[in-house]
Structure formats: structure tokens, C-alpha cells
């Protein structure tokens, strides 16, 4: 009888954002809509600059300014739709939070690749630690840095050439 009335289960990111905005007396604008669509069109990690790049040079009515991109990113994080997972080259790196399973990252310091991994024990341990300290945990950010499989070994890249002197 009701499609999605009281419970907002399986709400789209747009709907979720809408909800957030309404409760704050804010408005759903064309620009905010465009940004959410763009951001949730793929699951890639991204930074503000990349998004600005994609949105600020459009010539049609789907162009969004740099300021608005930054402003909206902040709001999306606050709304729980995005989360900032790392910092690379001085820029904050974002990814989907809403509707995406909890996980952390291995970050290759050489090629910059982000490898996602999930380990439920980590969450449990943190819950326990927080409880012991009377700390109310809200979120965590775990960046594991090192070298990915590819960047680990030396250039085993020239396989055929006989370099035995």
C-alpha cells in the first residue's frame, strides 16, 4: 500500500540527502542534485578537485561552481552519505558511506592505489577500547600505508632480455 512512507529503507542517496536538508531548513537545489548524481554514479574514490574538474567546466545548465562543490561535499559528509577516508597529496579523499559496507584501506605510498578491506574484529576491538575509556565512538579512520603487491618487488619487468652480462 505504501511505497516508502514511514521507513526510509533503501532510499536513494538523493532521497537521503533530501531528508537531511529538510530537517535543517535547507533546500534541494539543482546543483546539489547534480553533485549527488555525479558522486554516486560510480564507486571510485575521489577528491574535491576531480569533482570540480568534472562539474565546473560544463557549459550547459549542469555546471556547478567550485565553491558549491566544496560546500556540498561538506554537507554530504555531515549527512552521512560520504566519508573522507584518507588524505593524498594534500587533498581529502572521499568515498561512499551510505549504503556501502564498512571497510578500511591499504594505501600504496608509491602508486597511490587504495585497496579496500573489511575486518569485523577491528570494529569490535575499537568498541571495547572505547567503552573502557568512557568514550562514545562515532567513527574511525584507518589508513594502512606501505607498498602494494606491484610496487613491492624490483622491476621484474624486463623478463626476456638476458642481462647475465
Partner DNA sequence: CTAAGTGCAAATGTTTTGCAGAATC
Partner DNA sequence: GATTCTGCAAAACATTTGCACTTAG
Binding residues among 105-144 for its own copies as defined by CB under 8 A: 106, 108-109, 115, 117, 119, 121-122, 125-126, 129-130, 133-144
Binding residues among 50-79 for DNA as defined by CB under 7 A: 56, 63-68, 70-72, 74
Q: Taking a C-beta distance cutoff of 8 angstroms, is the pair 102, 118 a contact?
A: yes
Q: Pseudo-torsion of CA 11, 16, 18, 22, nearest 10°?
A: 120
* Cβ closest to DNA, residue 46 vs residue 96: 46
Please list the residues that pair with 116 across neighbouring strands: 105
* Cβ closest to DNA, residue 28 vs residue 130: 28
Nearest to 149 by CA among 110, 92, 118, 94: 110
Q: What is the smallest separation between the CB atom of 115 and its own copies, expressed in angstroms?
A: 6
Helix (H) or strand (E) holding 116: strand 114-117
* Cβ closest to DNA, residue 38 vs residue 92: 92
Q: Which of 31, 38, 97, 116 contacts DNA by CB under 7 A? A: 31
Residue 159's alpha-carbon distances to 111, 148, 156, 164, in angstroms, are 22, 20, 6, 12
* Cβ closest to DNA, residue 59 vs residue 158: 59
User: Which partner, its own copies, DNA, none, binds residue 90 by CB below 5 to 8 Å per kind?
Assistant: DNA
Q: Pseudo-torsion of CA 26, 12, 43, 28, nearest 10°?
A: -20
The interface mask with DNA, positions 78-97, x = CB under 7 A, is -----------xxxx-----
Q: Taking a C-beta distance cutoff of 8 angstroms, is the pair 47, 54 a contact?
A: no
Q: What is the smallest separation between the CB atom of 75 and DNA, expressed in angstroms?
A: 8
Amino acid at each position: 500500500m505504501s511505497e516508502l512512507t514511514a521507513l526510509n529503507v533503501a532510499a536513494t542517496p538523493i532521497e537521503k540527502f533530501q531528508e537531511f536538508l529538510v530537517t535543517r531548513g535547507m533546500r534541494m537545489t539543482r546543483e546539489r542534485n547534480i553533485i549527488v548524481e555525479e558522486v554516486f554514479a560510480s564507486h571510485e574514490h575521489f577528491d574535491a578537485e576531480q569533482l570540480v574538474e568534472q562539474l565546473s567546466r560544463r557549459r550547459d545548465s549542469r555546471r556547478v561552481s567550485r565553491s558549491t562543490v566544496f560546500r556540498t561535499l561538506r554537507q554530504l559528509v555531515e549527512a552521512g552519505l560520504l566519508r573522507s577516508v584518507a588524505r593524498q597529496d594534500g587533498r581529502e579523499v572521499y568515498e561512499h558511506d551510505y549504503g556501502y559496507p564498512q571497510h578500511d584501506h591499504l594505501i600504496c605510498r608509491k602508486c597511490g592505489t587504495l585497496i579496500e578491506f573489511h575486518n569485523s574484529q577491528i570494529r569490535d576491538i575499537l568498541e571495547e577500547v572505547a567503552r573502557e575509556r568512557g568514550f562514545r565512538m562515532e567513527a574511525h579512520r584507518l589508513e594502512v600505508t606501505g607498498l602494494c603487491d606491484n610496487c613491492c618487488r624490483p622491476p621484474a619487468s624486463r623478463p626476456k632480455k638476458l642481462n647475465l652480462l
